[in-house]
């Protein structure tokens, strides 16, 4: 394009094919570590009670609740849920209100 | 205390067959949970305020308040229904959770943190624990 002053105008393209600058190529994607809800063993709580509490709070199957209860019993603790911190905290409170010893911890 | 203490009826309600002694044990447990929730010097208070996230010096106040409110409300509702002959499913759940808190708080307050310590505990403490366990075992069977 030539204008009447003889000076070639600088025209900025409306669209560019060079999109590299729009996309970050660095490894800067943030991944939130999930939080774990842990239930601890104690010597007095009946096994059947633990199963009922897990079923009521998490809605897990009887089979899964029994497996988790046995993990608590044999290993001293079991990871019963993992995910976002606020939900982990909410589940932990529900378990404590139901009388189980429970804490939350961040994934390593 | 022979026979079934709690029976699930066909309409879903839970029949309470505790005798006077059984009801007095449950009543005392419910009252103690209410008292412990409000009294920091109560021997059960520590177990009601255990940490949620042990990596922090202090837990989220909203979560702590939620726990305190729900525990106290459940214990008060359980105490209100102690003389009922039939419980709804929700009431039975509230009995179970409050009795479970009483059981674990007793064990913690008496330092019974292992099977060996439990076996070596005083006979009256062990009797009380066995009684609560029996209630819980049968209630769980109905839920």
Q: Of the ranges A23-27, A92-96, B117-121, which is most confident?
A: A92-96
What confidence tier does A2 reach under pLDDT thresholds 50, 70, 90? very low
Q: Supply the pLDDT for residue A5.
A: 43
Give A28-90 as a DSSP string.
----PPPEEEEEE--SSS-HHHHHHHHHHHH---HHHHHHHHHHHHHHSEEEEEEE-HHHHHH
Q: Supply the pLDDT for residue A29.
A: 60
Helices (H), chain B: 20-38, 45-48, 61-80, 89-109, 115-119, 123-142
Catalogue all structural domains in chain A, each as residue range(s) with its CATH number.
Answer: 32-106 (3.30.1390.10)
Question: pTM of the entire structure?
Answer: 0.85
User: Residue B126 CA to chain centroid, in angstroms?
Assistant: 16
Mean pLDDT calculated for residue range B84-111? 96
- Taking an 8 Å cut-off on Cβ atoms, the answer to whether B52 and A104 are in contact is yes
Structure tokens at A96: 């404590």
Mean pLDDT calculated for residue range B1-20? 91
Cβ-based neighbour number of residue B79 at 10 Å: 18
Q: Supply the pLDDT for residue A10.
A: 43
Residue B101 C-alpha, separation from nearest chain A C-alpha, in angstroms: 4
Q: What are phi and psi of A26, to 5 degrees?
A: -80, 165
Instruction: Tell me which chain B residue has its CA closest to the CA of residue A36.
Output: B53
Cβ-based neighbour number of residue B25 at 10 Å: 20
Report yes or no: B78 and B98 within 8 Å, Cβ to Cβ. yes
Chain B residues within 8 A of A56 when measuring between CB atoms: 93, 143
Please give the Cα distance from B10 to B7 (Å, whole number).
10
Instruction: Tell me which chain B residue has its CA closest to the CA of residue A99.
Output: B101
Q: Supply the pLDDT for residue A22.
A: 52
Residues B65-91 pLDDT 10s:
999 999 999 999 999 999 999 999 999
Residue A68 clears pLDDT 70, i.e. is over it:
yes
What confidence tier does A66 reach under pLDDT thresholds 50, 70, 90? very high
Report the mean per-residue pLDDT for chain B: 94
All residues at 6 or more sequence positions from B29 whose CB lies less than 8 Å from its CB, including other chains = B98, B99, B102, B132
Mean pLDDT calculated for residue range A29-52? 90
Q: Supply the pLDDT for residue A11.
A: 44
Q: Supply the pLDDT for residue B133.
A: 97
Q: Supply the pLDDT for residue A32.
A: 74
Interface test with A, best of B100, B117, B127, B133 (most A CBs within 10 A): B100
Mean pLDDT calculated for residue range B107-113? 94
Percent of chain B with pLDDT over 90: 94
All residues at 6 or more sequence positions from A97 whose CB lies less than 8 Å from its CB, including other chains = B67, B70, B71, B74, B97
Chain B residues within 8 A of A101 when measuring between CB atoms: 50, 104
Report yes or no: A92 and A37 within 8 Å, Cβ to Cβ. yes
């Amino acid at each position: 394009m030539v204008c009447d002053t003889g000076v070639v105008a600088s025209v900025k393209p409306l669209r560019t094919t060079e999109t590299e600058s729009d996309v970050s190529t660095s490894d800067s994607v943030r991944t939130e570590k999930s939080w774990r809800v842990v239930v601890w063993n104690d010597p007095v709580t009946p096994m059947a009670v633990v199963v009922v509490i897990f079923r009521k709070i998490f809605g897990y199957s009887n089979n899964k609740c029994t497996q988790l209860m046995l993990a608590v019993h044999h290993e001293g603790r079991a990871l019963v849920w993992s995910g976002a911190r606020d939900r982990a905290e909410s589940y932990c409170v529900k378990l404590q209100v139901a009388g189980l010893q429970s804490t939350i911890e961040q994934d390593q | 205390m022979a026979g079934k203490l709690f029976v699930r009826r066909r309409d879903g309600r839970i029949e309470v067959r505790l005798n006077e002694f059984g009801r007095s044990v449950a009543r005392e447990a419910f009252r103690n949970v209410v008292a412990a929730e409000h009294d920091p010097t109560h021997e059960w208070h520590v177990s009601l305020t255990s940490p949620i996230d042990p990596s922090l010096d202090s837990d989220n106040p909203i979560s702590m308040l939620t726990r305190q409110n729900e525990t106290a409300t459940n214990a008060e509702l359980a105490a209100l229904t102690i003389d009922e002959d039939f419980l709804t499913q929700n009431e039975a759940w509230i009995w179970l959770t409050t009795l479970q808190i009483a059981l674990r708080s007793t064990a913690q307050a008496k330092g019974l943190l292992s099977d060996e310590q439990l076996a070596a505990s005083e006979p009256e403490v062990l009797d009380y624990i066995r009684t609560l366990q029996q209630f819980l075992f049968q209630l769980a069977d109905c839920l």
